[in-house]
Structure 1
Amino acid sequence: MVAAYFLLPLDSLGPHRPAVSWSVFLVSVGVVAVLLLRQITAVTLERRDTRPGLVIPLLMCLSVLVFAAAYYGLAKQPGEFAGLRTRLDALYFTLVTLATIGFGDITPQGQGARFVTMLQILFNFVFLTAAATSLTRHVRGRVGERHGRRGGPGDQPR
């Protein structure tokens, strides 16, 4: 996925094609959100026909790359970002925002950049937190099964 991020023709998106750029971004975020919700539901319902241990981490990585691609496209518009020029800068800013570090070396200045940054923060709080919680629940359940007991939220460590 990371190789695809660096190889995809993202330069065809940006300020010269705003309708297409925003549509691709919003659809991508929506698809990742729906797929994450399906995995979260599968873990909550303890469905055995899914593989959340594989799918959730991949979707989490994909969400980071979708936001990085959006930031890279927005950075092509003058006045949107200060300090963001390359794909690596965009990936770095996405991870710094995800980790809530905020070094301040790259800052969203335009309305579009601030909107996407706020959307990423909300996405992180809602979807990635729920996905990480579900993944932890799934892994604990699997470990509990292998040790001859059922792992659940009420289980206490021995």
Structure 2
Amino acid sequence: MVAAYFLLPLDLFGPHRPSVSWTVFIAALTAVAVMLLGQIRGVLAERRDIRPGVTIPLLVCLSVLVFSAGYFALAKHPGEFAGLYTRLDALYFTMVTLATVGFGDITAQGQAARLVTILQIVYNFVFLTAAATSLSQWLRERAGERARSKGGA
């Protein structure tokens, strides 16, 4: 996924196609959120046909890359970001925001950049926290099952 992020033609997005850029960003983020919610619901319902140990980490990674691609496209708008010029800068800013570190070397200056940054923070709190909680619950349940099966054997 990371290789695809660096190879995709993200230059198709940006100020010359704002409606396409926003539509693709919102659609991708919504799709990832829906898939995360499906995994979370599956863990809560204790469904055996899902694989949250693989799927949730991949969806979290995809969430990061969607935000990163959005930041990269948005940085092409004059005045939106200071210090964000490359895909690596965008990925770095996404990770710094996700980790709530905020070094300040890249800053959201425009209203759209600040809106997307706020959206990422809310998304992190709601979806990624719920996904991480579900994943840890699933892992605890699997560990408990293994312990019981070894103890009963």
- 1:30 equivalent to 2:30? Answer yes
Aligned residues: 149
CA deviations over 1:44-79 (Å, ceiling 9, x no partner): 000001101110000000000000000000000110
* AA at the equivalent of 1:115: L
Q: Which residue of 2 aligns with 1:8?
A: 8
Q: Which residue of 1 aligns with 2:124?
A: 124
Q: Which residue of 1 aligns with 2:21?
A: 21
Question: In the TM superposition, what is the alpha-carbon distance from 1:21 to its structure 2 partner?
Answer: 0.1
Q: SS of 1:15's equivalent?
A: coil
Give me the whole-angstrom Cα distance separating, in 2, the residues matched to 1:24 and 1:63. 13
Structure 1 or 2: more helix by fraction: 2
Query: RMSD value over aligned CA atoms?
Result: 0.6
Q: Which residue of 1 aligns with 2:66?
A: 66
Between the two proteins, what is the percent identity of the paired residues? 71
Question: In the TM superposition, what is the alpha-carbon distance from 1:146 to its structure 2 partner?
Answer: 0.5
Q: Which residue of 1 aligns with 2:144?
A: 144
TM-score with structure 2 length normalisation? Answer: 0.96
Gaps of 5+ in 1: 150-158
- Structure 1 runs of 4+ with >6 Å offset: none
The structure whose RCO (Cα within 8 Å, separation 6+) is larger is: 2
* AA at the equivalent of 1:107: T
Gaps of 5+ in 2: none
TM-score with structure 1 length normalisation? Answer: 0.93
- 1:113 equivalent to 2:116? Answer no
Give me the whole-angstrom Cα distance separating, in 2, the residues matched to 1:17 and 1:111. 18
Give me the whole-angstrom Cα distance separating, in 2, the residues matched to 1:32 and 1:111. 24
Q: SS of 1:147's equivalent?
A: helix
Give me the whole-angstrom Cα distance separating, in 2, the residues matched to 1:12 and 1:32. 21
Q: Which residue of 2 aligns with 1:44?
A: 44
Question: In the TM superposition, what is the alpha-carbon distance from 1:108 to its structure 2 partner?
Answer: 0.3
